[in-house]
Amino acid sequence: MALSTRTTPFTRVLRKPLKMVAAIPAIYFILAALLIWISFENPNFPQPEVFLAFLRRATPLLILAAGQLFVIVTGGFDLSVGSLITLTVLGGALLTDGNADRTPLAIVTLYLIGLGVGIFNGLVVSYLRVSSFITTLGMLIALKGAALLWSGGAPAGYLPDNFRIFGRQNLEGVPYLGKVPYAVIILVVYSLVATYLLHGTNFGKKALAVGDNPRAAALSGIAIPRIRIAVFVLSSISAVTAGILLGGFAGVSMNVGDGYELEAIAAVVLGGAMLMGGKGSMPTAIAGALSLRALFTLLNLLGLPSPYRAAVQGLIIIGAAAYAAFRSQSES
């Protein structure tokens, strides 16, 4: 507004680039500022090796946020992903029990479980008309119970090296970068595919339409149940993928997935998605997740005691959502 009221030649020349800058989502500036600040605190950070290691640690959350965004743009939630991660890690250890030969079958089995959970969530929301909040809350409780039941209440078995390769090994001899973690390669492929799915396909447009106005979407001939089932499946598949990666570098533990559902939702909100659906962008959601991780890295470097992390995360979530609410209010 301030730009258009004064029209000196100077501002006229600047107006267009300034408008373009203003159109860039705020999360990119936040992310850039965080990364620059981290580089000041830790001068090694911009080195490929260090930065890629940071990306690798962030990958599970980024993948989870990408999956969560599909559900959120349709106006739903997926709270079951944290427990599904735990189930994946504990289940992976039990299915393989350290035997490398069993890894392929175990991974297929885990993805089938994910597929089943996603389909179940989608069917319950679509046909039993239970809100996704309740459906996935029930699944959060049930899946955590199932994971603990399966493992007998304590981590059992262990993951063979070829299962952990995705989370901890690197692709060697890459030009310029040296070694690149497999997790980062998975992340890049995942991000590209997810961005294309949401923004480049009919399916993505339909998902956004369902979240924007389900009735209008139904009247325009969109098969809503099919879309809902598909987004829950995408979210569950993302959770299994995140679980396989976490099992790789974090190992087997009972609460490996706890709290991931809230972090993923927070990341998506940071990335500017609307919780009631209809609006969301994959690149900014991924940038939101990366910002959340960058923030924690920075707080670590600044020596903030780890218990305060939760408090800072809380403030950031409220701040980001308040900013988004303020913006959408001033737009309308």
Partner 1 sequence: MKLSVPLRRRIPSIYIVLLLFYLAGWVLVSLFGRGTWLSGTNLSNMAVRSVALGIVAIGQTFTILVGSLDLSVAYLISVVAVMASYLMQGDPDKVPQAILIVFGIGVGVGLANGLIITKLRLNAFIATVGTGLLMQGVLNASFENFAGAVPASFQDFAYGKLGPFPAPVLLLLLIAALAAFVLERTRFGAHLYAVGGNRSTARLSGVRTDRVIIAAHVIASLMATISGLFIVSRLRAGAPWVGPDGAYDIESVAAVVVGGTALSGGRGGVGGTLAGVFIFSVLDTMFNQLGIDPYLKQVFRGLIIIAAVASYSVRSRETAA
Binding mask 76-115 toward partner 1 (x if CB under 8 A, else -) reads xx--------------------------------------
How near is the Cβ of 277 to partner 1 at its closest, in Å?
7
- Inter-residue long-range contacts of 259-262, CB under 8 Å, 24+ positions, other chains counted: 259/82, 260/60, 260/61, 260/64, 260/81, 260/82, 260/85, 261/68, 261/78, 261/79, 261/80, 261/81, 261/82, 261/83, 261/136, 261/140, 262/82
How near is the Cβ of 255 to partner 1 at its closest, in Å?
11
- Segment near partner 1 (CB under 8 A), from 6-14, 34-42, 103-111, 323-331? 323-331
Alpha helices for 152-276 (secondary structure H): 161-168, 182-200, 202-212, 214-219, 224-250, 260-270
- Segment near partner 1 (CB under 8 A), from 33-41, 94-102, 141-149, 286-294? 141-149
170 bridge partner residues: 181
How near is the Cβ of 226 to partner 1 at its closest, in Å?
14
**Would you say 69 or 143 has its CB closer to partner 1?**
143
What's the angle, vertex CA 270, arms to CA 32 and CA 208, rounded to 5? 120
Residue 243 contacts partner 1 per CB under 8 A:
no
Residue 216 contacts partner 1 per CB under 8 A:
no
Among 104, 179, 308, 327, binds partner 1 (CB under 8 A): 308
Those residues whose C-beta lies under 8 Å from the C-beta of residue 171, and which sit 6 or more positions away, are 179, 180, 181, 182, 185
Report the alpha-carbon distance of residue 115 to residue 121 in Å, rounded. Answer: 10
Residue 302 contacts partner 1 per CB under 8 A:
no
- Segment near partner 1 (CB under 8 A), from 56-64, 131-139, 156-164, 174-182? 131-139
Binding mask 265-284 toward partner 1 (x if CB under 8 A, else -) reads xx--x-----xxx-------
How near is the Cβ of 33 to partner 1 at its closest, in Å?
21
Cβ atoms 253, 89 nearer than 8 A: yes
Residue 309 contacts partner 1 per CB under 8 A:
yes
CB atoms within 10 A of CB 26: 16
Q: Using the structure block, give the residue that is written with the tokens 């603990």.
A: 148
Q: Using the structure block, give the residue that is written with the tokens 């190992």.
A: 251
* Residues of the shown chain interacting with partner 1 in the complex, contacts defined by CB under 8 A: 74-77, 124-125, 128-135, 137-146, 148-149, 153, 211, 214, 224, 262, 265-266, 269, 275-277, 305, 307-315, 317-318, 321-322, 325-326, 329
